[in-house]
């Protein structure tokens, strides 16, 4: 089964879909991200590529840029185009099973939320304390997808466990906006373990933990009648 990975970045989603059993092909405009993408890919506009070639694939995943909706978007000075409605319209038109991923706050009313605590994504922090990944992402699909578990972030926080996010602008200092919201950002070495991704920080903070898309990919293969 071939999966077209639009707005593929450095391949967080791709690694999960590949682990589920898909042959993955990525499209992104950013050559620095694509240097870390471990599968065949094309550098160029995702929607143009999908319009021309989308029907050659069995499944299409899209992660359109999300800065417009993310809670820290006020910290961004550049204006980002809103590609989400265009992406959805195109994928519906192509007619292949699709998944669209985005951040909480984006207009995806029927989406499923996934979180690191659902997949037991943990790491040992530098002081020896266990830390859990708090990373909420929305997944909308043409298919009926369901989460593996409930989000345990609030329960864990109330129990005094350490829950951490992976944020930042690529520097080695914690992101101020996240810290002001009571968030906690561990050192990059710990973030890599939490995410299950060995990427430089400015690519890591844009990525999806492969555990999420491995789970979705296995569910899709099951729904499409293919043994994972």
Ligand X SMILES: C[S@@+](CC[C@H](N)C(=O)[O-])C[C@H]1O[C@@H](n2cnc3c(N)ncnc32)[C@H](O)[C@@H]1O
Site for ligand X contains 66 (CB under 6 A): yes
At its nearest, how many Å lie between ligand X and the CB of residue 46?
A: 4
Site for ligand X contains 86 (CB under 6 A): no
Measured CA to CA, the distance from residue 158 to residue 179 in angstroms comes to 18
Question: Binding residue for ligand X (CB under 6 A) from 70, 206, 219, 221?
Answer: 206
Q: Which residue is nearest to ligand X (CB)?
A: 12
- The listed partner (Zn ion, ligand X, none) that binds 153, CB under 5 to 8 Å by sort, is Zn ion
Identify the sign of the CA torsion 35, 131, 61, 2.
Answer: positive
> Please, what is the end-to-end C-alpha distance for the chain in angstroms?
10
Secondary structure of residue 51 in the 3-state scheme: helix
Question: DSSP H helical segments within the chain, as ranges?
Answer: 12-20, 31-34, 46-53, 84-94, 153-158, 176-180, 188-195, 201-204, 210-223
Site for ligand X contains 87 (CB under 6 A): no
Measured CA to CA, the distance from residue 23 to residue 58 in angstroms comes to 10
Site string for Zn ion, 110-149 (x = CB under 5 A): -----x-x--------------------------------
Site for ligand X contains 3 (CB under 6 A): no
Site for ligand X contains 167 (CB under 6 A): no
- The listed partner (ligand X, Zn ion, none) that binds 10, CB under 5 to 8 Å by sort, is ligand X
C-beta closer to ligand X: residue 16 or 125: 16
Question: Binding residue for Zn ion (CB under 5 A) from 153, 190, 208, 216?
Answer: 153
C-beta closer to ligand X: residue 4 or 10: 10
Site for Zn ion contains 151 (CB under 5 A): yes
Site for Zn ion contains 103 (CB under 5 A): no
Instruction: Look at the block and give the residue holding tokens 């979705």.
Output: 216
Measured CA to CA, the distance from residue 54 to residue 196 in angstroms comes to 29
C-beta closer to ligand X: residue 45 or 58: 45
Residue 81 gets which letter from DSSP? -
Radius of gyration, CA atoms only, the chain: 17
Part of the chain binding ligand X (CB under 6 A), chosen from 62-70, 86-94, 122-130, 157-165? 62-70
Q: Which helix (H) or strand (E) is 59 found in, with range?
A: strand 59-62
Half-sphere CA count of 150, side-chain side, radius 13 A = 4
State the residues that interact with ligand X by CB under 6 A.
7-13, 27-30, 33, 45-46, 63, 65-66, 206-208
State the residues that interact with Zn ion by CB under 5 A.
115, 117, 151, 153
């Amino acid at each position: 089964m071939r999966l077209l990975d639009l707005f593929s970045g450095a391949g967080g989603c791709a690694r999960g879909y590949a682990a589920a059993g898909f042959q993955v092909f990525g499209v992104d405009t950013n050559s620095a991200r694509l240097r870390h993408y471990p599968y065949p890919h094309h550098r160029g506009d995702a929607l143009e590529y999908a319009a021309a070639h989308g029907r050659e694939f069995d499944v299409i995943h899209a992660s359109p840029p999300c800065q417009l909706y993310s809670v820290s978007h006020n910290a961004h000075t550049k204006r980002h185009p809103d590609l989400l409605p265009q992406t959805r319209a195109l994928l519906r038109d192509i007619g292949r099973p699709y998944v669209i991923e985005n951040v909480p706050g984006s207009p995806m009313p029927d989406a499923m939320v996934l979180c690191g605590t659902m997949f037991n994504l943990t790491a040992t922090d530098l002081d020896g304390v266990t830390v859990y990944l708090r990373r909420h992402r929305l997944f909308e699909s043409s298919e009926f997808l369901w989460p593996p578990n409930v989000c345990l972030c609030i329960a864990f926080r109330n129990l005094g466990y350490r829950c951490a996010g992976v944020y930042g602008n690529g520097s080695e200092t914690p992101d101020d906006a996240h810290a002001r919201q009571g968030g906690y950002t561990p050192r990059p070495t710990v973030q890599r373990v939490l995410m299950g991704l060995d990427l430089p920080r400015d690519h890591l903070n844009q990525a999806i933990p492969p555990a999420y898309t491995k789970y979705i990919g296995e569910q899709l293969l099951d729904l499409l009648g293919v043994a994972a």
